Amino acid sequence: MWGALFVMVAVTGTAGFIGYHVARTLLERGEGVVGFDNFNDYYDPALKEARNRELEKFAGFRCIRGELSDLEAVGSLFKGDHPRCVIHLGAQAGVRYSIDHPRAYVDSNVVGFLNILECCRAGKIEHLVYGSSSSVYGTNRKMPYSVHDGADHPVSLYAATKKSNELMAHVYSHLFGLPTTGLRFFTVYGPWGRPDMAYFRFTTQILSGEPIDVYNNGDMLRDFTYVDDVVAALLAAAEKPPKPNPDWDSMKSEPSTAAAPYRVFNIGAHRPIPLMSMIEALEECFGKKAEKRFLPMQSGEVMETFADVSDLENLVGFSPKVPLAEGLARFAKWYRDYYGV
């Protein structure tokens, strides 16, 4: 049982989308959670504050406000409650934003991750689980994306920082025996989501009568993954800290495990869906057609994402449960309730 393993869980990014859902699920299970977030204005801070208020309804939750790049602030996560597991989901998100704001990504995703690693090492943390991204696959055209294939050519700085996290985690697993698990998320969506993501942004524009920008003329596929499926897989993986792989052979170039207690998984629906199908599902949810403005492909984006999740399935029995139409219907209900539509 999780409770037998961890007395208190440290979760970064608890005012963010996935971090909020992970923290809430732990709290509903009766776990204690110490959260960490900077509540920045990359998107609406009021939404972040609202998520935090929901978590504060639980007696087992407290939140530290600070920057990941501030070592002293990050260190405060590890004092007092002495968490034995860290779920690191705090990061500067967004592919397009990274093109014009590169330093924000280095500060949060590289320096910040180093601070997390250092504190985990000093605190003798039993398992560090951290969020990576499908964007690390970059120019890889082999489908579905597999953790057994290389991911060495990212096409955005955001993706590069996420790949750097995986490399840095391996170093700490190798040098200090810190068990680390990286989870490459594939287009996570659902209630309490991020307003900068396409499904959320399209919803706002459709309801306000504004045209939506559809890039590459809509000719893209995404492996949309409902947030509840992500949380279930993440927490199941967190309960199984990795051990060194005795069969690992550097001559065979196997990037998903190592001779150290290190591993990387995909978390996706294993079901790539055309962007236009997602738009049609949103139109159905809200009973309103979108005015579409078709535009060329944007820099930093890829044509398709498609997750091979067989490794995670073998470890924890992961199988995505929520189809896109149902997940968007749940999101639409939350959106109406939250915004009073």
Q: Which of 130, 137, 158, 262 is catalytic?
A: 158
| pLDDT tens, position by position, 83-105 | 989 999 999 998 888 988 999 99
What's the confidence (pLDDT) of residue 319? 92
- The predicted-structure confidence for 71-87, as pLDDT tens digits, reads as follows 999 999 998 778 989 99
CA dihedral 198, 199, 201, 202 (to 10 degrees): 100
Cβ neighbours for 232, distance < 8 A, ≥ 6 positions apart: 318
Active-site annotation holds for 158: yes
**Residue 37 pLDDT > 60:** yes
Size of the chain, expressed as the number of residues it contains: 341
* Ordered structural domains, the chain, with CATH: 7-186+226-269+307-321 (3.40.50.720)
Residue 3 CB partners (closer than 8 Å, separation 6+): 29, 30, 31
Q: What pLDDT was estimated at residue 6?
A: 52
Q: What are 128's strand-pairing partners?
A: 86, 180
pLDDT above 80 (res 236): yes
State the Cα–Cα distance between residues 105 and 286, nearest whole angstrom.
Answer: 35
Cβ pair 182, 130 in contact under 8 A: yes
The pLDDT tens digits for 247-284 are 898 888 789 999 999 999 999 999 999 999 999 999 99
